[in-house]
Amino acid sequence: MDSLVSLSSTAQHLAVLQSHHSVQGRSLSHNQLQQQQRISTSFSGLRVSKSSKSVDKQQCLKKGPSSGHLPVTVVASAADGTSSWTPTSPVKGQGKPVRSPPALGGAAAITSPSQESASLGSSKERLDTSAGPFLRVSPESLQYEAGYLGGISEKTAPVEASEAADAMSYLTRIINSKVYDVAIESPLELAPKLSERVANRILLKREDMQPVFSFKLRGAYNMMANLSREQLARGVICSSAGNHAQGVALAARRLKCDAVIAMPVTTPEIKWKSVKRLGATVVLVGDAYDETQAYAKQRALDDGRVFVPPFDHPDIIAGQGTVGLEIVRQHQGPLHAIFVPVGGGGLIAGIAAYMKRVRPEVRIIGVEPADANAMALSLHHGQRVVLDQVGGFADGVAVKMVGEETFRLSRELMDGVVLVSRDSICAAIKDMFEETRSILEPAGALSLAGAKAYCSYYGLENETVVAITSGANMNFDRLRIVTELADVGARKEAVLATYMPEQAGSFKTFVDSVISRKSACSLDWWNLLWVSARRVGPANITEFKYRYNDENEALVLCSVGVTSEAQLDRIKTRMDAAGLRTLDMTNNDLAKDHLRHLMGGRTKVENEVLLRFVFPERPGTLMRFLETFSPRWNISLFHYRGQGEMGANVLVGMQVPKEDEAEFIALADTLGYAYQDERLNEAYELIMH
């Protein structure tokens, strides 16, 4: 009888939704409407250049940001990893040579297939035979300004009628989801301080308040609750080092089902013990996640267990889709957009599957880290792609490849992807702490960072947007990085490198220039060093690094608190006028991660190669590195900075003669550690060398 009531209520609900579609004139699919919009936009002559951005942004807003035409940066290199052209000046402090192709289609500008092929043909793309017939690409091959809505391209296929009908079936799955046996209906809260600051109404969907501090239990429980008694009796297994593991463990306890959770051996004790406390059997296996997942899938076959994937399953997607159902129930007023963190795509696919059938006028916008943009690249190429490397800071969304089903739904339903930096994620974590005294994990703050960037980029005012705060399982050792970068990400702190004459009085001139004070400063070098964090004028010097190195010229690295870009520009202008050549290193990761922690002056090292590695946090990593390169080549610089289980940033300088470079790079490739050559980075050129 209960099932009959459930089916009856579902039918009534679907009838209401279909009526709503008719009222909205939604006879075409969302993707088809987008294509019509692209066609009309291409004839409107709307084109944005950097010189006219402020004017054209307003034009974009009249049509909605998804129809804007804005510049996109593509970093290109040959398939073998070598540069295919003469390096130009670095962009965004990354030290990477770039060239700008025609803007993208869809959420970006219209580009003919031939133009797009020509512009991307030399980028770092190739078939990855180890992962099947998938294009292998670098995250750097698609980069655009923070807040810009990109990702969708003309390669995005139109939606077939059968797919649209199938998407309606997701409504049934979502409405009948059983997630509330374990999950709560998370609050939708106004963020008053942040809303006032960004001149828009920011609503926070507090998935960080779930029993396991993440939305992941919704999908895991919904899939497992739909298993047969026989399947539950055989047990389940999953592979995860994070929130999915806790979701499966909690669901198994609720369903009285045996669960095995495979986790990498590098998983912190606090994480695997949390899973074990929920009653699951924890198996620590594999140095890397791929090995852990392979073990779990093989054991599922051997033991007859059901493998519970983290995102790519209809019941997982439907469970996550209940977040969208709750938003509709909790907010009936106008809603401009919902910002959703994107890893494998389960959460955004579920929310979009519901929202685009109920509130099709609401934009569904994905947010990804700029160095983990698998969905943006997949949407751009019109097919799933494999990232050759993934940034690990926001580890909850650090995936190399999105799911097959999640991509199918996202390609049809989502409106684009916003990319954000690590610094802006840190700033969003601080925003959340100041707003609620809660600390989000990096992936949990991703959507908030995207919402802020989007509102700023398009000049939105008096709109209402929702940000999904998806998780709060923060690793304690990562807080150090967050506190260091939060003000930089919020544009409240600038990192500067200044050259000054190595003579008496230069430092006083420097301080006068920073604080805009014509009178002499009574502080000497050493007094200022110990009070460097105190307020000494309109600008706040928060950090200062100096070491005598050359009798003619000194170079200092400092951090300065600022209230606006205009104030920073005034500081740099005053310093230039005083003869103090100053470089803005705020967006340079090499400077922020390494140089600010190094003492000592510049030196000329013959044949020095500077590489930045990400060392996996497992025993023997350093020894393997040393055995590969030493004593063949001399190590001239080494700075190791641990970041918890996500790996360690390691800056390495080695003396490699020109004739040995090819052999050296080949060995670096075979090592298996992600790395990049920093010799073109301005921080290296102007500070280290």
Question: Residues 49-60: pLDDT tens digits?
Answer: 233 333 333 333
The CATH architecture assigned to 491-587 reads 2-Layer Sandwich (3.30)
pLDDT of 336 over the 90 cut: yes
Position 76 confidence tier, pLDDT thresholds 50, 70, 90:
very low
Q: Where are the domains of the chain?
A: 30-206+315-480, 212-314, 491-587, 603-688
Tokens 């020109």, located at residue: 658
Q: Residue 646's pLDDT is what?
A: 62
Lowest mean pLDDT among 96-100, 227-231, 344-348, 411-415: 96-100
* Stronger pLDDT, 445 or 395, i.e. the higher one: 445
Banded pLDDT at 485 (limits 50, 70, 90): confident
Give the confidence band of 535 by pLDDT, cuts at 50, 70, 90.
Answer: very low
Is residue 314 a contact partner of residue 389, using CB atoms and an 8 Å limit? Answer: no
Query: How far does CA 660 lie from the centroid of its chain?
Result: 36
Q: How confident is the model at residue 375 (pLDDT cuts 50, 70, 90)?
A: very high
Whether pLDDT at 366 is above 90: yes
Report helix, strand or coil for 575: helix
Span 514-535, average pLDDT = 41
Mean pLDDT throughout 630-653? 78
634 in Cβ contact with 660 (< 8 Å)? no
* HEC letters along 68-90: CCCCCEECCCCCCCCCCCCCCCC
Predicted local confidence at residue 688, as pLDDT: 60
Give the residue, 548 or 609, on which the prediction is more confident: 609
pLDDT at residue 224 tops 70: yes
Burial class from Cβ neighbours inside 10 Å (0-12, 13-18, 19+) for residue 284 reads middle
Quick check: is 216 catalytic?
yes
Q: Name the pLDDT band for 129 (thresholds 50, 70, 90).
A: very low
Q: Which CATH architecture has domain 212-314?
A: 3-Layer(aba) Sandwich (3.40)
312 φ, ψ (degrees, to nearest 5): -95, 70
In this predicted structure, the answer to whether residue 261 has a pLDDT above a threshold of 90 is yes
Q: Is 117 left (phi over 0), alpha (psi -120 to 50) or beta?
A: alpha
Do the domains spanning 30-206+315-480 and 603-688 agree at the CATH topology level? no
Out of 21-35, 517-531, 581-595, 646-660, the most confident range is 646-660
Residue whose C-alpha is closest to residue 381's, from 121, 18, 63, 667: 121
Section 400-417 average pLDDT = 93
Write down the CATH number for the domain with range 603-688.
Answer: 3.30.70.260
State the pLDDT at residue 161.
47
Confidence of residue 232 (pLDDT cuts 50, 70, 90): very high
Residues in CB range of 663: below 8 A, 6 or more apart: none
Of 253 and 141, the structure prediction assigns the larger pLDDT to 253
| Most confident residue range from 63-77, 286-300, 406-420, 598-612 | 406-420
Where does residue 269 rank: exposed (0-12), middle (13-18), buried (19+ CB within 10 A)? exposed
Going by C-alpha positions, the residue among 238, 264, 268 that lies closest to residue 252 is: 238
* CA-closest candidate to residue 467, choices 200, 233, 166: 200
CATH no., domain 30-206+315-480: 3.40.50.1100
Amino acid at 267: T
Please give the residue that has the higher pLDDT: either 173 or 162. Answer: 173
- Catalytic pick among 216, 452, 545, 592: 216
Query: Please, which residues have CB within 8 angstroms of residue 148's CB and are 6 or more apart in sequence?
Result: 68, 70, 72, 108, 418, 419, 457
Q: How far apart are the first and last CA of the chain?
A: 78
* 14 has pLDDT over 70: no
- pLDDT for 154 equals 54
Burial (Cβ within 10 Å: 0-12, 13-18, ≥19) of residue 301: exposed
Separation CA 295–CA 338 (nearest Å): 37
Residues 6+ apart with CB under 8 A from 267: 241, 284, 645
Q: Which of 141, 153, 447, 470 is catalytic?
A: 470
Mean pLDDT of the chain, nearest integer: 75
User: pTM for the whole thing?
Assistant: 0.70
Taking only the tens place, the pLDDT of each residue in 431-466 is 999 999 999 999 999 999 999 999 999 999 999 999
Q: What is the pLDDT of residue 587?
A: 79
Tell me how far apart the alpha carbons of residues 311 and 554 are, in angstroms, rounded to a whole number. Answer: 54
Res. 687: pLDDT tops 70: no
Q: Is pLDDT larger for residue 301 or for residue 14?
A: 301
Q: How far is CA 399 from CA 33, 290, 402, 404, 410, in A?
A: 30, 11, 7, 13, 16
